[in-house]
Structure 1
Amino acid sequence: MADRKYPEKRSQKNLKKQNLNLPHTERDAESMQMKQATAPSIHIWDAVNKQTLSILRCYHSKGVCSVSFSATGKLLLSVGLDPEHTVTIWRWQEGAKIASKAGHNQRIFVAEFRPDSDSQFVSVGVKHVKFWTLAGRALLSKKGLLSTLEDARMQTMLAVAFGASNLTFTGTISGDVCVWKEHVLCRVVARAHTGPVFAMYTTLRDGLIVTGGKERPSKEGGAVKLWDQELRRCRAFRLETGQVTDCVRSVCRGKGKILVGTKNAEIIEVGEKNAACSVLVHGHVDGPIWGLATHPSRDFFLSAAEDGTVILWDIADKKMLNKVTLGLAARTVCYSPEGDMVAIGMKNGEFIVLLVSSLKIWGKKRDRRCPIHDIRFSPDSRFLAVGSSENSVDFYDLSLGPTLNRVSCCRDIPSFVIQMDFSADSRYLQVSTGCYKRHVYEVPSGRHLLDPAAIDRITWATWTSILGNEVLGIWSRHAEKADINCACVSHSGISLVTGDDFGMVKLFDFPCPEKFAKHKRFLGHSPHVTNIRFTSGDRHVVSAGGDDCSLFVWRCVHTPH
């Protein structure tokens, strides 16, 4: 923040997402925004210029589980998560629904158009497969028949691909691949993978088929296989990326390369000729991303998630620089003021301090048995504050070395800790709590400061609290107490960003002491946004997602009020 406590409001910044330009409205009714943010919809994008081409407001009440373009690209097929798993055909460029019908009473996992057709498609799911035809505005379907194959049984189908002469291939949960002639089962390729076949892809140019599944790498097999047109012979690829990759969830093929999406949140490029592997995209594997910290002077940031990993990201190059596997779920992360140390709070109550230069452990301690919700270095780098769900904040004197002896704690906190911020002189700590009250404590004594006048004179080094008169305006008319999850004031002290349960990032002037303050809204995350931070120099904002396990980088554009 700026040196003065309440800097003048000089300008407001616009946020633009680094990779996607998302439309936003400035003064829509709040309730309508919340409804639209959570209602299922389908967005069609131009992959080159990243512009939105069409938004289809769905009739799928629970969500959309599968989409597929027709051969010409004029039609779009979607499948809903509603109880009837409705199948819908759209003319997406016009935003018009042309046909819809109940798909099946059991879950449908995938539905795809045949690659040479605008009228025929196949859907697969829990113990069923259906062959569909679009006839005008009507949808006609035939169930897959097992014919007279010995020991044939209907399995749960997870993937679908297509061959010449009206052949269809479906991957099963047992690792088999079923071969269908029209809608009749004619052959079973037993144990195509040792585990479930999660993905299949048909290449129109040569008819070859890629399958991806769960299979440990071996001399004879791997999680990715390339098959001939009739699925009789295959070549297996071992995904050698420095770690064992035995579960593939998505595959695609083109120009002599195979793209592979893994359960480990990686996208790997595999060369068909030499089987060379290159990791293009990294990410967190599982669980919400709770921890987020930006480097104090460089365009780097750290993310920590419940998958037990902490990842260092480079904003300029849009890539992962390093990854630390902790083995336990991580909940919060913080840089030291000089950027030479990193503190990580864990779900089991432990916290770890790493040296950035070597990523080696400088010290670790576990004085609590419940999750650490926030962790902060003091601006003078002497103290580390550790806030947990045990209604406590512990202070550690780092000048005493890596033994990390607790020197004091705040004892009278009425609920679990949500956010913490040090004062600029390192003498005070403000704590936002689960009962939605903000408290201020002296450092390191932990004495509760109750004098409003004294609190009002404090200049804060950072502000991430969602509570206090300075941020009263972030709460909308219809917001409940738990709706806003995170906030961050820019280093200049003139702007404030928040993340909420509806997937929205909001931009305010700071301070915003008046109720229902004017702001701008930006959509991109699915619910909910767990954390948000300005980067050094306020050039970017980084937001973390819960259900979507995603990290968004937004560009800050300075504009006049």
Structure 2
Amino acid sequence: MASKSSREPNWNQAEGYLKVFLKGRGVALYAPSDITDFDIGTVGEAPNEKLQLEWVYGYRGRDCRSNLYHLPTGEIIYFIAATVVLYNVEEGMQRHYNQHTDDVKCIAIHPDKVKIATGQVAGHEKKEGKNKRNDVAEIDDHLPHVRIWDSVSLNTLHIIGLGDFERAVCCVSFSKLDGGQQLVCVDDANEHVISVWDISRDKPHKVTETKSSTEPVLAAEFHPYENNQVVMCGKGQISFWTLESGTLTKKQGIYEKMEKPKFVLCLAFAENGDVLSGDSNGNIFVWGRGTNRISHAVNGAHDGGVFSLCVMKDGTILSGGGKDRKVYQFDENYKRTGLETEIPEEFGPVRTLSQGHGNLILVGTTRNSILQGTLDLKLNPIVYGHLDELWGLAPHPSQHQFMSCGSDKHVYLWDSMSHSVVWSKEITDPAHSCCFHPEGNIAVVGTHNARWLVIDLNTHDIITAHTDGNEQIECLQFSPDGKYLAVGSRDNYIYLYQVSDGGTKYTKIGRCSGHSSFITHVDWSEDGQYLVSNSGDYEVLYWTTNCRQVTSPDNVRNVQWATQTCTLGFNVAGIWPEGADGTDVNTCGRTKNHTVIASGDDFGKVNLYKYPCCKPRSSCHSYKAHSSHVTSVNFLFDDSRLITAGGRDMAIMQWELI
């Protein structure tokens, strides 16, 4: 009989602990003393509860273009992370297409205004794959590809290009004159291969492909009034492609006396068939219909680059500026009408302009916000977002609110019922962690450079700031009675403070010293007498409020913990997948009624387990909507919803617990 692997989890009956192995290191997780007979062989069952994605906060405008449209359903459509959002602003409702396996990079609307094409990047090389998956289809959908889907039913109609694209699909566009029977795609790889697909039949097929450019491509569009014509632009180029007898041929745009720009940033098509281009010199050039020559120039239309052009239904043309944040209106003869507006600095430059409902315009910005309104009146923000890596997330102790903070130095207080920003604040340092005082009137934000700030939630003022060590504040946690604050640092120490005056005064007690790697998570006992902490090298240590380490497991094995953010512990042994290397699971959070625990992993997944989850290889429900490592998961105070943050995808997802 083959001997059991020494790296398999094993139960030590005499000592009452479960030993698990992370990156080859054995970690002893002590069980409560009433667990005497632990059957390690049985698999923990999945919970009865499930998650349903209710709301997505954020928009990807920072580095994606032409990704905001209005649909006949009354919804606006855009994307962030691996999710396409269909948002009815008037009704305050969102629907979500989340069949993508990683970041969505581009979107196109079919002439029928129902079908949508979205292209994605190459997915995570599934580390889990080596354990679980031999199914080719499962692995394949992590290749870059395009999905064509129905925006009413949210059903996927076609998956195109599995194995055809190298890095990501950066541009997609449906043909217009033949009713959308073809799709053009551009691969975001070294040679930016452009391909045309026949999608008129049940099984789409590639008509042709050719290398287009070694420089970045920013847009590629089928001409709406010229058959089999595709216009493409990007770094140092605008090119006009013709599809004839299954072959693509290219003509470069000829500038003649005009100054050739470094970047051609955007395209649009006038009603008379002219092609409009906006460039990095601030010029708008008009390319005569059917030619590759400039017939008209609007020099210096913007101070800085022209980031977006939009031809409205009434024939007027809007242009959006990068540096100057201005939106100008032009008439059909390319003359300024005098109607203009400036995007407030907090929302950033214009990324994309689009026709909204009626005479409304939609503006997506480079600071990941969406505004809606008219040029002569006001543009109002309808979507806010973080614009750098996001780790800090905390639920309010008694209201349907939560806080987020990120490397963009922004702190937001959100309302989970109205899905709106209650207030936002810019601080001087990039932020990494946050928590609320149990009374709900104070929040603490930990930064990248060892400072932590105490914010009054009513005035939004910073009432005090402290510095501990000289490294990032990894985690913060108040004791349940609000009398203590634990500050976990990247410098391997936990700093302990006594808290008075309703969370406004802090007196240092000392520091807990004993970890040999950075602190990752801290939890308090329900009576506020003990702390448990995890570190980057998978240690589980226990402490008293005078910063002494508790070395005897028997003293703490029956302690009831007020929260369960520590990813290492007997009650969460089952959230680690088989073969986990210790960094796979970043975060966990438990419901207040102690029945369910959620975890967030490196594969963009949110997982829901029954709590306690002690059995290795426990079953769970897994959900995908993020595209980056999930950095934080938190249930709201009443367990009605789960809020999750996706590190580099900068998205916050709100899930209903059903």
- The two structures have a TM-score, normalised by structure 2, of 0.76
* Residue of structure 2 equivalent to 1:132: 241
Q: Residue type matched to 2:370 in 1?
A: I
Structure-1 residue corresponding to 2:379: 277
Residues 223, 246 of structure 1: 8 Å contact kept: no
Distance 1:548 1:24, change over 3 A: closer
Match of 1:14 in 2: 50
Q: Which residue of 1 aligns with 2:146?
A: 42
Q: 1:185 aligns with which of 255, 276, 294?
A: 294
What does residue range 444-459 of structure 1 map to in structure 2 within 5 Å? Answer: 445-459=546-560
Q: Name the structure 1 match of 2:173.
A: 68
Q: 1:454 to 1:192 in 2, by over 3 A?
A: same
Mapping for residues 63-142 of structure 1, pairs under 5 Å: 63-71=168-176, 72-91=179-198, 94=202, 96-99=204-207, 100-116=209-225, 119-135=228-244, 137-142=246-251
Q: CA deviation at 1:430?
A: 1.4
Superposition deviation, residue 292 in structure 1: 0.4
Q: By how many angstroms is 1:295 displaced? A: 1.5
Deviating more after overlay: 509-518 vs 379-388: 509-518
Tell me the amino acid that sits aligned with residue 185 of structure 2.
Answer: S
Aligned partner (choices 263, 274, 296) of residue 167 of structure 1: 274
- The reply to whether residue 387 of structure 1 matches residue 476 of structure 2 is no
Instruction: Sort the Cα spacing of 1:198 and 1:151 in 2 relative to 1 into closer, same or farther, 3 A.
Output: closer
In the alignment, is residue 332 of structure 1 matched against residue 332 of structure 2?
A: no
Name the structure 2 match of 1:261: 364
Q: Deviations over 1:257-284 (max 9, x none)?
A: 2111112322111314x33222111111
User: How far 1:49 sits from its partner (Å)?
Assistant: 5.6
Structure 2 matches for 1:94-493, cutoff 5 A? 94=202, 96-99=204-207, 100-116=209-225, 119-135=228-244, 137-146=246-255, 149-181=256-288, 182-203=291-312, 205-216=313-324, 223-239=326-342, 243=345, 247-254=349-356, 255-272=358-375, 274-284=376-386, 286-399=387-500, 402-443=504-545, 445-493=546-594
The Cα offsets for residues 130-156 of structure 1, whole Å up to 9 and x where unpaired, read as 21233454333222222xx32532531
User: What do residues 60-83 of structure 1 show as CA deviations (whole Å, max 9, x unaligned)?
Assistant: 221222222332344333222111
Conserved 8 A contact 1:173-1:195: yes
Q: Secondary structure at the match of 1:405?
A: strand
Q: Distance in 1 between the 2:655 and 2:432 partners?
A: 23
Counterparts of 2:368 and 2:171 in 1: how far apart (Å)? 19
Q: Report the alpha carbon displacement of residue 305 of structure 1 after superposing the two structures with TM.
A: 1.0
Is the 1:364–1:402 Cα contact (8 Å) retained in structure 2? no
- TM-score, normalised on structure 1? 0.89
Indicate if the aligned counterparts of 1:302 and 1:333 stay in contact, CA closer than 8 A: yes
- 2 CA distance for matches of 1:466 and 1:125? 46
Question: Judging changes above 3 Å, is the alpha-carbon distance between structure 1 residues 86 and 343 closer, same or farther for their aligned structure 2 residues?
Answer: same
Decide whether the 8 Å contact of 1:239 with 1:245 is kept in 2. Answer: no
Amino acid of the residue matched to residue 271 of structure 1?
T
SS of corresponding position for 1:112: strand
Most deviating of 53-62 and 482-491: 53-62
Q: Write the letter of the residue equivalent to 1:516.
A: R
Uncovered stretches (5+) of structure 1, i.e. residues with no partner: 217-221
Alignment partners' CA distance in 2, 1:377 and 1:44: 48
CA contact (8 A) 2:328 2:341 kept: no
User: What percentage of aligned pairs have identical amino acids?
Assistant: 28
- Give the corresponding residue for 2:4: none
Structure 2 vs 1, CA of residues 235 and 85 (structure 1 numbering), >3 Å: closer, same or farther? farther
Deviates more, 1:107-116 or 1:10-19: 10-19
- Indicate if the aligned counterparts of 1:329 and 1:347 stay in contact, CA closer than 8 A: yes
46-55 vs 291-300, greater mean Cα deviation: 46-55
CA RMSD across the alignment: 2.9
Structure-2 change in CA distance of 1:49 and 1:291 (3 Å): farther
Q: Which amino acid aligns with 1:247?
A: P
- Kept after mapping to 1: 8 A contact 2:277/2:284: yes
Cα deviation 1:200-232 (Å, max 9, x = unaligned): 2223x333222112243xxxxx52112223433
**How far has the Cα of 1:537 moved from its partner?**
2.1
Distance 2:186 2:520 in 1: 39
Alignment of 1:459-538 (within 5 A): 459-538=560-639
Summarize the Cα distance change of 1:116–1:151 in structure 2 as closer, same or farther, 3 Å threshold. closer
1:6 and 1:194 map into 2 onto residues whose CA distance is: 72
Q: Displacement of 1:323 after TM fit?
A: 0.8
Aligned residues of 1:161 and 1:209 also touching (Cα < 8 A): no
Q: Which residue of 1 aligns with 2:78?
A: none
1:497-555 Cα offsets, whole Å, 9 max, x none, are: 11122211111222222222212211111122111111122211111112221111111
Is the CA contact (8 Å cut-off) linking 2:144 and 2:166 kept in structure 1?
Answer: yes
Q: Structure 1 residues 21 and 456, CA, compared in 2 at 3 Å: closer, same or farther?
A: farther
Structure 2 stretches lacking a partner, 5+ long:
1-31, 36-43, 55-94, 102-127
Q: Verify the 8 A CA contact 1:202 1:209 in the aligned structure 2.
A: yes
Aligned residue for 1:219? none
What is the rounded CA distance, in whole Å, between the counterparts of 1:271 and 1:458 in structure 2?
59
Confirm or deny: 8 A CA contact 1:98 1:137 kept in the other structure: no
Alpha-carbon separation, structure 2, partners of 1:127 and 1:251: 23
Deviations 1:67-120 (A, max 9, x none): 223323443332221112122334558462423332211111111222345632
